[in-house]
Chains A and B, each alone.
Chain A
Amino acid sequence: MAEREERRFAQVSRESVALMAESAGVELGEEMAAVLAEDVCYRLREAAQSCSQFMKHAKRKKLTVEDFNRALRWSNVEAVCGYGAQDALPFRSGKEGELFFVDDREINLIELALATNIPKGCAETMVRVNVAYLDGKGGVELQGAVPTAVQSLSDDLLKYYQQITRAILGDDPHLMKVALLDLQSNSKIAALLPYFVYVISGVKSVSHDLEQLNRLLHMVRSLVQNPYLYLGSYVRSLVSSVMYCILEPLAASINPLNDHWTLRDYAALLLSNIFWTHGDLVSGLYHQILLSLQKVLSDPVRPLCSHYGAVVGLHALGWKAVEKVLFPHLPAYWANLQAVLDDYSVSNAQVKADGHKVYGAILVAVERLLKMKALSLSHPGEWCFNAQTGSLAAAVGYSSPGLSPPPESLSEAAFGIASHLQAGSGGCPWEEWAPVSLPAMYLELYSFFGDSLAVRFSTGPGLDSPPYCPSALLREPKKEALGQGSNSDTARKMPQLTANLSISPRRDGSPRTDPPPPSLAAAGPGRSLPRSSSAQRSRYSSSRSAQRLTGLPRDVFPKARFASPQNGPPTFSFVIGGRQMGQRCQGRRPFQTVFAPTPPPAAVPPRAYAHKLPVIGRVGKPVRRWTCSHYSLLLPL
């Protein structure tokens, strides 16, 4: 027999057959064994042929023992039991070399029976859907996904990457510093950028670890500051990581001892840094950031730390952003914040503390807003442009001359943003914010913050020098930083103040009847918190209104003096009304009626209803869910 030709098929030698027969207790002749062997070979091949059918219909590429047993069963042969394991069975040769067998491990049944670590059942079979291709074009790219071109990295680069990441995320602060410095100045790491960006996008997985978050943020800063790197579209990914640190209710913030506030501050700074330096790389980035900040701010369900993040984020983006997003939203937001701050229950203590944080942040932001706005009004044109808001103005597309008097272009631009941000929430105050002049703004803000706002103003531009010089502006941040502490103090006391005053709501209802100077005199001692600067403050506040009446934008603060006496009373009545946060609306309306002649009437009513502004982020919600649709089976079809 030409057995040689059949090498490619299963072979059972006649010796094997004889051996098996012997073990079964049957004597077989040589010839018989040969015939049997050949037949067995054929049957084996036949079974192999038919079992491949079961494999094909099960849509598999791997032939399993089960397939073979099915084939055997359908040809009326007993199945072979005991080989159903998924893992490959090791086939070994015995010591003599002629003997091959399947390695059969011994299992200690006692151990198995008494084992405490009962293996968990395998996870449930489920179906998940994801949008694989949109309109037949390219895979939907995952945010921060590592590009596949790993092999294009040289070994050195790879080593560098490993060392750097290890150093930055490691324990040695000195090493970290060195690594960050190098990252900031190395000119040859462009190829690694995607990887670093990917590492940074890991913020989401370490939200419990402030230290790591901090380090990752530092890494962002280094990358952003590296003059040799072109960030390109990775800016988006970096921004989203930074925004995560700013806005998300991080796991680390559950513990009040964790100072996640600083992290948020730092991240906000970083955000502005990225934005000023690389904002031009991605179109519409500014709007996107504003949008998401606003969404967070207007979502009452979000924890206060998120709101805090939104405020500091806006603050960091410049006073324009504050004016555009925070200021119009303040009335609506204030009610929530006030509710928190007014709750004195013990269980609320922590939340209240957080609320004060937010309060402080808002205060800082609006203060700067006022200052800068005043500044821009008093120094229109090129000064304002190059000093501070230059890049912002450029990014938003404002023309610098348009800043000082609110002309058409400005309001239009604002409107454009507004409609973009809140699709469909009709009658929104966005279109109205532009005409709000500085005095009106101040008055309104004063209605919220009352004295503390004035206090800060008195400390800020205390000197009477009419035109602000650039140097004063440059000092500004420091002052704010200094003011932070005191600010929070005043902020904490603020609610007490209002609480005391809220006993007399009658005053709000009839502000006009109050005689001007006496009311001030009466209110002054009536306040539980006497302040040294109260006189000054009142002077300023009234100056504001005076300013307003005169309608001269050029000299807002400096030339502020007590104006005509009939304007005084409304001012003061407003101060009192403004303190009474609970009845904020009532407090404001009288004020508006008083000033009705001055501001454009159309502008006022919408502001009064600002608190009715629908929660803005909501419109965007379903869309977001749609993009995450791979998390659920739901897919709008």
Chain B
Amino acid sequence: MAAVQGGMVDEKEEVDIKTEPQSDGLMNTNATDGRQLSPSPSSSSSAGSTKSAAGAPEDQQTLLAVLQFLRKNKLTESVEILRREAGLPEDALDTKGADCSAPSSGGTAGGVDGLDAGSLLSRVAVSSSAGTPAPTKAVADDQPDVSVVLSAYSQQGDPALYKVYYSDLKKFIESVLDCHRAELSQVFYPLFVHMYLELVYNNHESEAKAFFEKFSGDQECYYEDDLRVLSSLTKKEHMRGNETLLDFRTSKFVLRISRDSYQLLKRHLQERQNNQIWNIIQEHLYIDIFDGMPRSKSQIDAMSGSLAGEAKREANKAKVYYGLLKEPEIEVPLDDEDEEAENEEGKPKKKKPKKDSMGSKSKKQDPNAPLQNRIPLPELKDSDKLDKIMYMKESTKRIRLGRENLPSICFYTFLNAYQGLTAVDFTDDSSLIAGGFADSTVRVWSVTPKKLRKVKSAADLNLIDKESDDVLERIMDEKTASESKILYGHSGPVYGISFSPDRNYLLSCSEDGTVRLWSLLTFTCLVGYKGHNYPVWDTQFSPYGYYFVSGGHDRVARLWATDHYQPLRIFAGHLADVTCTRFHPNSNYVVTGSSDRTIRLWDVLTGNCVRIFTGHKGPIHTLAFSPNGKFLASGATDGRVLLWDIGHGLMVSELKGHTDTVYALRFSRDGEILASGSMDNTVRLWDAAKAFDDLETDDFTAATGHIHLQDNSQELLLGTYMSKSTPVVHLHFTRRNLLLAAGSYAA
């Protein structure tokens, strides 16, 4: 397909577009005959780096192209003659072939290129017809390959004028009315990046640097990280293989601007004949125009910061069934008088069947809940029912938390974790704790006096009486009892672990690109799920078991079922690594956080992205749903915790206080308190109930998505609790609302 496209492009270019002589692209990867493109000894640099290598690069380029052409047409004698005359070494031919395929950065990048080829083609055509100033370098070359993606940058104005254009716009925006200025200032950053990249792409290195020097200081501080990446990039060949830039080019930067402001900008650019900037805006920016009052600076700042701008309003329009599923009705034996009988739930001797208040509450269907069978869920086993009963009993003893009634905190400290603790998880009933370590191991500890035991060997299992009541006890091998077990199998740091709700399985994901499923009965690995070919950053079981989600460096999240070795869904859309993944309490949705600084909510049924939340200024490292499924909390490297209303797709609150990356978030069982744990060795408690109560979701806000946040972090902060030089990696509320925190002591 790509070859065909390449051909089409060739024709087109020959007809009307003057492309860069050095541009090469897809053809390289497909032309297996191995062309000699560059005499450059640098093997890792891409094929386009000829220009600075030889004295007369363009001539040589031409020669190469001709050679290429001849070879393609099997005119080997002519090739030989021409090559000898030109004095080109032969051996370079073959190495080139290998090099060409190497730098094309993985399957994803290639795929993106291929997909975009078509659309970008038309864009090129459009833009050239829109009256682009003639390229300064008119090179008549029948270069057979086109870097389709990069070609979007091929048209350009006078590099010296870039500064003028930009500062002209800057002057204009600074002169407009205050209400418009904040909105129009949003244009600066994407414009700046695109103009810089265009300069770099067109080999105006010194101009690019000067441009960067002059205007990088004007950008918002939260773009600092991106600017650092940009500034290290000064050559066209660097752009190839740089994923950040690929993202930037392939996606349109989204801005929300009021109609008035937009008209103002448009008029100005047309008056000034500032086509350069106008083109960029047309091609690379997506301007979401709304009617009404322009937004204020704080409103804009709250929502901006992501790699691709804000979310389009349409993106958050889909209905989300955030309600909880109806709980199956289980007769809960309530025996108030004897607390000791807790352990013998299984024997319903003197239990008087009585409807629990919880059960009656969930009897009426939540209007916002999805259909019970929207996602097929595994059936409840007897043991699950027992666990549910246990859960309800525990929850009757739950401490009601609130502003006046803060939870006690227990800290689980990992000692002697020289190998590096990278992930922690607790079972829901807080009976087991597991740690993932950088030395590829997963360790499981029992938190209760009950030791961890393996199931007996098959031979021994044959001997036991299968009819006996305590068969589940008999299958366990007492000899293997120990406080902790180590699971070996990964070949890289374990970045995420998750217990299954029934406590029979454990998931772990690792840098080695696999997700592994472990049995907690045999303490062996059952399955290795291979799909992410890059490090997998996070994984989590569905609250109902069976399904799990994983996300990694390949920028997609995958939905799996434990009995399928291939993913059921692939959630693609993030522009950078998927750093954390969480299941919605009703198991119908999956939320992912990414280092592109956006959060996306995906529908498990359709695989569609139904929400995009922007506002974080750094990679998102943790997410947590409120127990009622209505709200979402997210924590990022910027140390801020943001609260989101899923139904309306709005930011609800911004919790400032942490001074370092927030790695752990957890709502209390009633959703009253939000606990956040951070690299800054503190646990902070926030009044989530108040944050959600204060929420005023009038129709206007809901319709426009323009939130107005008051800075009430200090009011909502209920407490800051220091650990003893132990970064908080994980938080967990027990069923009775005791807060457990975990981390490894940093000696």
Contacts and interface: CB of A to CB of B under 8 A. Distances in A.
Do A and B actually bind? yes
Interface of A: 1-2, 5, 9, 31-32, 35-36, 38-39, 42-43, 45-46, 49, 53-54, 56-61, 66, 70, 74, 76-77, 122-137, 139, 633-635, 637
Given A58-B493, A59-B422, A124 B416 contact: yes
Nearest to A10: B232
Contacts of B695: none
Most chain A CB atoms below 10 A, which of B42, B102, B722:
B42
Nearest to B399: A135
B685 interface: yes
Contacts of B553: 53, 74
Contacts of A66: 438
Given A5-B213, A137-B406, A126 B232 contact: no
B412 A35 contact: no
Contacts of B484: 126-127
B721 A633 contact: no
* Top-7 shortest CB links A-B: A136-B406, A45-B232, A133-B409, A132-B411, A123-B416, A132-B409, A637-B734
Nearest to B448: A634
30 contacts: A35-B40, A36-B41, A39-B42, A39-B44, A42-B238, A45-B232, A49-B229, A53-B577, A53-B595, A56-B621, A56-B637, A57-B493, A57-B579, A58-B493, A76-B102, A122-B418, A123-B416, A125-B414, A125-B415, A125-B443, A126-B416, A128-B412, A132-B721, A133-B408, A135-B407, A136-B685, A139-B722, A633-B446, A633-B448, A634-B448
Nearest to B210: A2
Contacts of A49: 228-229, 232
A127 B661 contact: no
B433 interface: yes
A126 B415 contact: yes
Contacts of B430: 637
A407 B448 CA distance: 51
Q: Is the interface of A mostly helix, strand, loop or mixed?
A: mixed
Nearest to A124: B416
A45 to B, nearest CB: 4
A56 B409 contact: no
Contact of B232 (A42, A123, A137, A635): A42
A127 B44 contact: no
Given A38-B235, A135-B406, A57 B537 contact: yes
B405 interface: yes
B42 A36 contact: yes
Interface string B36-58: 00001110110001001100000
A46 B242 contact: yes
B417 A129 contact: no
A139 B621 CA distance: 28
A131 B408 contact: yes
A59 B723 contact: no
Nearest to A36: B42
B137 to A, nearest CB: 21
Nearest to A136: B406
B435 interface: yes
Contacts of B213: 5
B405 A135 contact: yes
Contact of B41 (A32, A45, A56, A70): A32
Given A9-B232, A32-B41, A133 B721 contact: yes
A98 B19 CA distance: 46
A129 B422 contact: no
Contacts of A32: 41, 53
A127 B242 contact: no
Contacts of B97: none
Nearest to B664: A59
A49 B225 CA distance: 10
A42 B418 CA distance: 33
Contacts of B483: 633
A392 B256 CA distance: 80
B436 to A, nearest CB: 10
B506 interface: no
B247 to A, nearest CB: 14
A59 B679 contact: yes
A60 B419 CA distance: 12
Contacts of B172: none
B93 interface: no
A126 B417 CA distance: 8
A126 B721 contact: no
A39 B493 CA distance: 30
A66 B619 CA distance: 22
B356 to A, nearest CB: 20
B7 interface: no
B419 A125 contact: yes
A35 B418 contact: no
Given A39-B44, A125-B416, A637-B738, 11 more contacts: A39-B237, A59-B422, A77-B44, A125-B437, A127-B412, A127-B415, A128-B412, A133-B721, A135-B406, A136-B407, A139-B722
B449 interface: yes
B421 A59 contact: yes
Interface string B716-747: 00110111000101000011101001100000
A36 B235 CA distance: 12
B407 A59 contact: no
B411 A58 contact: no
A633 B729 contact: no
Contacts of A59: 421-422, 661, 663, 679, 727, 729
Interface in B383-434: 405-422, 429-430, 433
Contacts of B447: 129, 633-635, 637
A35 B493 contact: no
A102 B438 CA distance: 26
A238 B337 CA distance: 43
Among B40, B209, B407, B408, which residue has the most Cβ atoms of chain A within 10 A?
B408
Given A38-B235, A43-B44, A136-B406, A125 B412 contact: no
